[in-house]
Homo-oligomer: A and B are copies of this chain.
């Protein structure tokens, strides 16, 4: 696997997996899908400052490039693009992509999806992939990127892969490493509440209300229904101590 730090050294590839590092089994699933479906796979490793609406969150975000590079190589990534912040946002940078109406996650994190859309558009232009891979856990992000692709006439396909979970049901997230053991236990209420919401929905009930009622005291930024290309997703965001976690389940249709 080649590690590349300059935009000009990145080769075009048919598969792209954008990441912010702190890789876990959810990323491994993206790498494996990309490996299976493409001749050349580029993964990017870039903690994108512009998508953090809280500086403390950016500062706390876990970073371990050597470990991440080893995981990417194990999973068959051909090129790891790990640029500096100045390489992506040089002096004088000033062009931003706004994707309107980004739902509750967009409202809860002002500027977040502007940062996501802008850096992903840059990565798409740099790598020119046929397919780019994202996890279903960030369902609203996938919706934003599909809208970006449609509205700006990009030719990349946004592939969305199922959320990978620990045995007890907690969605894998780079932020899980920030949880204390006690917080880790309390965080389980999120997937459990979403499962309760999905069950309620299957019986014709109010999925959002059922989820909120089952959150077991976790403070939630939102619980909402998100429509993504015909699929209906029940999504929630909670705070466990100082860590913010998101998760979702599909109620109708499919993401792929």
Contact = CB atoms under 8 A, between A and B. Distances in A.
Contacts of A95: 97-100, 117, 147-148, 151-152
Contacts of A100: 94-96
Given A152-B121, A153-B126, A96 B98 contact: yes
A7 interface: yes
A213 to B, nearest CB: 33
Contact of A122 (B96, B126, B152, B155): B152
Interface string A115-159: 001100110011000000000000000000001100111110000
A101 interface: yes
27 contacts: A7-B153, A93-B151, A94-B99, A94-B100, A94-B101, A94-B151, A95-B98, A95-B99, A95-B100, A95-B117, A95-B148, A95-B151, A95-B152, A96-B97, A96-B100, A97-B97, A97-B98, A98-B98, A121-B152, A122-B151, A122-B152, A122-B153, A125-B152, A125-B153, A125-B154, A125-B155, A126-B153
Interface residues of A, number: 23
How many copies of this chain?
2
A122 B153 CA distance: 6
Contact of A94 (B7, B93, B121, B147): B147
Nearest to A127: B153
A153 B151 CA distance: 18
